[in-house]
Structure formats: C-alpha cells, structure tokens
A and B are shown apart, each in its own frame.
Chain A
Amino acid sequence: EVQLVESGGELVQPGGSLRLSCAASGLTFSSFAMNWVRQAPGKGLEWVSVISGSGSTTDYADSVKGRFTISRDNSKNTLYLQMNSLRAEDTAIYYCAKAPRRSGSSNYCDYWGQGTLVTVSA
C-alpha cells in the first residue's frame, strides 16, 4: 500500500525559511514523479511544484518560482520542499502527491499524503 507522510510544517515568521519532507513507502519511489500541492485554509487546491522520478526535471507555479525548491533523495524514499522568503499567502496545508509515471510532465496525482500545515505569521 502506498503511504506518503509529510512533516516539517510549523509557524514561521514572514521572510523565514522552512523545509518540508515527505516520506514514501509501498512503492518504487524513483519510478514516479512527485508533486507538492497546497490548500490555504478554507480554500481550493493549488499546484506548487513537480519533480521527475530521477530528479532531473522540475517545474514550479509562478507564485513560488525563485523562492521554493523541490528535491528528492531516492535512496531515502523522501521528497523535499525548501521554502524561502515565506509570505503570509504561503499559509496552507501542503500535500505531497504521487504521479502515476516517472516523467514530470502531464501528470495527475494518484496518491496523496495527509498534509502538513505551514503558517506564516508574525
């Protein structure tokens, strides 16, 4: 059974940094692209970033480009999101979500973690 467990969310001040992690099990991790998707309190879903199975290809939403960096360690079955220059509007639950194939493009999300809450506030 595929399991995705996010961690690292917490209260951080505007301008601060945070690194989220997503531990994956029950799958051959390197065979699948991985996404981060976020949801502000009471709002809809917003795609944040994707990384290919090998880690060689990444893509970002314009709202986070230049501030967030997605990466993965396939030896540890773990996905990361480094978040810098955080803003109040980055406050959200951050979900990691598996794609159905290795390529980082044209993917939906077939498995989701339970999410980790990031709150950006002074």
Chain B
Amino acid sequence: EIVLTQSPGTLALSPGERATLSCRASQGVDNNNLAWYQQRPGQAPRLLMFGVSSRATGIPDRFSGSGSGTDFSLTISRLEPEDFAVYYCQQYGSSPLTFGGGTKVEIK
C-alpha cells in the first residue's frame, strides 16, 4: 500500500498570498496517477487536479500541480476567500487507492 504524507498539517495564510502544499509518497506513484481534492466544511470533496497537473472542469488557473515519482505539490497562486479549506492528495496508480491525511489552509 502506498502511504501518502501531506505537509504541513495546517497552513495559515492571508487572502492574496501563495500557498504551497506537499504530498510525499512512500513509493513511486505509477504513471503519475495523482489527484488533489478540496473539501470545504460540511461539503463533499471536489476534484481539483488529476494526472498531477491537469485541472478538473471549472477549476480556476490559480490552482496548479507539479511533481513526479514520490514528491508532488499543489500551489494556489493567490488565495481567494473560498480557497480556505482542507486539501487531500490521492494516488490511483495502484490498489488500494490511498489518500493523504490532508492539509488545512486556514485564514491567518
């Protein structure tokens, strides 16, 4: 099973600032099959990125993903008020599918 470790656990930033979230895998993720999800309080998760760097439908271009192998990151170039949420990475290259523990982006 591939274990995904997300850091930091919490990121306190102000609107307009840049956020960089990390996701490290315990072994290489096949075919860079890595996705990111956003979960706002009381809501279901929403797909942001797949294939490391492809944005899902309707996701603004302030969100970008990068990385390969075992190290991945999600960057939000300028935080908007609606971006304060919890973010999860997920690998889907091998079974079982696994999620990271999440990074909470909160308002400073």
**A114 contact from B44, B56, B90, B96, Cβ within 8 A:** B44
A interface secondary structure, majority: loop
- Using known A-B contacts A44-B101, A45-B99, A46-B99, determine if residue A112 contacts B93 with beta carbons closer than 8 Å: no
Q: Mark A75-113, 1 if CB is under 8 A from B, else 0.
A: 000000000000000000001010010000111111111
Find the B residue at minimum CB distance from A95.
Answer: B44
Find the B residue at minimum CB distance from A100.
Answer: B50
Find the A residue at minimum CB distance from B102.
Answer: A44
Are A112 and B96 in contact, with the CB atoms below 8 A? no
Chain B positions within 8 Å of A108 at CB level: 33, 35, 47, 50, 90, 92
For A, the interface residue count at a CB cutoff of 8 angstroms equals 24
Q: Please classify how large the interface on chain B is, using the bins under 10, 10 to 19, 20 to 34, 35 or more.
A: 20 to 34
Chain A positions within 8 Å of B95 at CB level: 59, 105
**B92 contact from A106, A111, A113, A114, Cβ within 8 A:** A106
The winner among A35, A47, A106, A108 for most chain B CB atoms within 10 A is A108
The winner among B88, B92, B97, B98 for most chain A CB atoms within 10 A is B97
Find the B residue at minimum CB distance from A104.
Answer: B95
By a beta-carbon cutoff of 8 Å, the part of chain A in contact with chain B is: 35, 37, 44-47, 50, 59, 61-62, 95, 97, 100, 105-115
